Chain A
């Protein structure tokens, strides 16, 4: 089936829906999602959305910008970061007008709380900058946006898996995918394609991400010979529930929670004397793993404690109800009575498909715009997060750049005609499905996926070194050989998840390779990318973005400069 639209948005999380809603003011828009819209991982965002509203105490967008740049270890592009922090307050007002049920303070204004790395007057002390809806901020924003989509004439295609980007005359003119319900090819012919496909946490063993976070957008870009920017920067959230990886928001520490090692000590005092437990995530994750490595984990195990016993039952119920219920359900622990075992969990990728500040996808290090293609959200790299993202900056990124991208699309869509579709659009999909279903291969996806997840966790997570990364790359090359030999036992065309997981595994493997390859080149430590063999930040050589791309000779990395406007790189102390 071939559908025609002005705009097709791939991905129905907050970035996708916000872009769709903005563009729909002028264009006919389709949202295509491999899960039901409202199931995307944006719903798992807990703690808040950053904006210098100043509802609780003095705050300024310049302070927000400074914190974001410093948090990024100076790799964020400051032109983009300025836009993010400047436009954030208005974005919150817009969300409120749309109906997002923000938690309120005694004055009836949107309440704000502290969050990691967000400070008063450029580093003096934590500042209350996170707007929130108890600890279900993502869910509440998503539900509001979804409700708007239902009444604004946006066509939603649930459970359609996009497997190919379509180009004609060097312009993106649509996407090809299939309906998971029956394997029928679904081609979306459009003037504009938006990738809003989210992240790739599932390439690691332990992640806060959902099962759908398999790096599909990254693979689509690599397959189309587009570069990926700064892929070596993968964020590990310090407080995942031990063993499960389920997120316990920074909000828990903002409301008074304290990290304690096996001796009961508040160890963050030693690593970040000013911000302590509200230091940025890269620093806390390294601190936790250092405590564990030096024998101060809890009972010799690989976790520390997040102590919420001082927060109070009332505050837990009011401000952290979801987290409290997760901990009760999965660990049988009442957080008001006992500490929570936590360890770092793969959470977010700072890198992604390079875009400009209007959301256009850039096809090289010179900044050449690829006509017809946009990217927004976690799958994109503007870059506002640089080498390490601050908590609450992800949700605001989705809204601010969703708005900008949607506006750009709406303005450019008018009067334009559809570029003709390539002839073979449907057959690409049919061939891909049949190729897998008919494959005589005997490799099984769950086995290969497990091997990849272990490899990435052991060799390419919080602490890295050249030797391990070489081994990781070799391991991935081995898995690539196995990947072409995958066989599918289930031949059904109806909700065949074995088939889907095979395609997702291929996407994850490509993403993992891009991460490892980029990490191997970057011989320095910056933000979330820490190399034991190069423990210092090296601005002279490495204050630049990496752009990994596929060539006939394999992966190569090109580089482009960082936009530095207001804040010169300094030593990063908290």
Chain B
């Protein structure tokens, strides 16, 4: 079966602006989009640049825009799309393009760092054994720990793309949410204050795009809303 991929190309060494190349290749219905990209790089054009690592949706390397929507190239198959038409493969939006589909993720990782993710949970009353955590409490963070730092949610966020590029973004809030809702952490006030600061959690307008595109099906918007609620209840209780 033939498929056609229309791929965004930009080489900073030679190009003033980006263009698109169309590649026609043999593919199977069950081939990953990543398999198609590899086929191009290994057989048709060795200069095509994109990242990959695990190949099955757990490392988060190969997020790209497929027909305009952020997704992992290794998690989407040819049959998931209308392959009678050209498949449009572009770099994630928002992040600066370095070459072809490879984007500069430094800002993404800086924002993860900015929420100071690992101030360790403070209650260490059980030095020589594990701290207890009920199944119910553990479930409160079960969704947040599915994250893989792929950047899809950030690249799909209408606030970041159209309104406020400095908004900390769904990925970092989700990371903070894990630490705020972990029952093993005794005092999360500072953490909640941190995520509340300028360009912080209140920038989220609940467009739900993060949730729609998340390759791990994390209910990102819900996690943000829960965090907002907790911040209101604990940091800004109504005066009596």
Residues of A within 8 A of B (CB): 35-36, 38-41, 43-44, 53, 92-93, 96-99, 101-110, 133-134, 136, 139-140, 143-144, 147-148, 150-152, 181, 210-212, 244, 246, 322, 325-326, 329-331, 445-446, 488-490, 492-498
Contacts and interface: CB of A to CB of B under 8 A. Distances in A.
A490 B99 CA distance: 13
27 contacts: A36-B51, A43-B54, A44-B59, A96-B131, A98-B120, A99-B120, A101-B178, A104-B133, A105-B135, A106-B135, A109-B130, A133-B145, A136-B58, A136-B146, A139-B58, A143-B147, A148-B118, A150-B112, A151-B116, A151-B119, A325-B217, A326-B57, A329-B75, A446-B42, A490-B47, A492-B47, A495-B102
A151 B191 CA distance: 14
B118 A151 contact: yes
B133 A210 contact: no
A39 to B, nearest CB: 4
A99 B121 contact: yes
A268 B165 CA distance: 57
B77 A329 contact: yes
B232 to A, nearest CB: 25
A109 B58 contact: no
Contacts of B235: none
The 10 closest A-B pairs by CB, nearest first: A147-B118, A108-B132, A446-B42, A147-B117, A498-B46, A490-B47, A210-B54, A495-B49, A96-B130, A39-B59
A39 B60 contact: yes
Contacts of B203: none
A150 B117 contact: yes
Given A96-B130, A150-B118, A211-B52, A495 B99 contact: yes
Given A35-B53, A99-B121, A44 B58 contact: yes
A140 B49 contact: no
Interface string B104-117: 01000100110011
A99 B54 CA distance: 25
A52 to B, nearest CB: 14
Contact of A494 (B99, B132, B182): B99
A19 B53 CA distance: 22
A148 B120 CA distance: 8
Interface of B: 11-13, 30, 32, 41-43, 46-47, 49, 51-61, 75, 77, 98-100, 102, 105, 109, 112-113, 116-121, 124, 128-135, 138, 141-142, 145-149, 175, 178-179, 182, 184, 217
Contacts of A93: 128-130
Contact of B182 (A101, A106, A496): A101
A91 to B, nearest CB: 12
Contact of A39 (B61, B75, B145, B147): B61
Nearest to B101: A495
A493 B57 CA distance: 28
A43 B148 CA distance: 9
B3 to A, nearest CB: 18
A494 B9 CA distance: 13
B135 A104 contact: yes
B34 to A, nearest CB: 9
Contacts of A210: 53-55, 59
Contacts of B128: 93
A446 B59 contact: no
A143 B145 contact: yes
B182 to A, nearest CB: 7
Contacts of A40: 53, 59
B61 A36 contact: yes
Contacts, number: 162
Contacts of B53: 35, 39-41, 210-212
Contacts of B32: 330
Contacts of A490: 46-47
Contacts of B30: 330-331
A438 to B, nearest CB: 16
A101 B139 CA distance: 10
A107 to B, nearest CB: 7
Contacts of A147: 117-118, 175
A320 to B, nearest CB: 14
Contacts of A325: 57, 217
Contacts of B133: 104, 108
Contacts of B56: 44, 244, 246, 326, 330
B148 A139 contact: yes
Nearest to B118: A147
A37 to B, nearest CB: 9
A151 B117 contact: yes
A445 B116 CA distance: 42
A35 B54 CA distance: 11
A281 B143 CA distance: 31
Contact of B58 (A43, A106, A108, A152): A43
A498 B184 contact: no
A107 B112 contact: no
A494 B58 contact: no
A136 B98 contact: no
Contacts of A322: 58
A151 B117 CA distance: 7
A143 B102 CA distance: 23
Contacts of B105: 36
B130 A494 contact: no
B184 A38 contact: no
B59 A43 contact: yes
Given A39-B53, A492-B11, 6 more contacts: A93-B129, A99-B179, A108-B135, A150-B113, A212-B53, A498-B41
B49 A102 contact: no
Contact of B47 (A44, A107, A498): A498
A110 B117 contact: no
Contacts of A38: 59-60, 148-149
Contact of B55 (A97, A143, A211): A211
Most buried by B among A93, A322, A497: A497
A139 B131 CA distance: 21
Contacts of A496: 47, 49
A469 to B, nearest CB: 28
Nearest to B147: A143
Contacts of A326: 56-57
A152 B118 CA distance: 9
A44 B179 CA distance: 23
B145 A136 contact: yes
B138 A104 contact: yes
Nearest to A210: B54
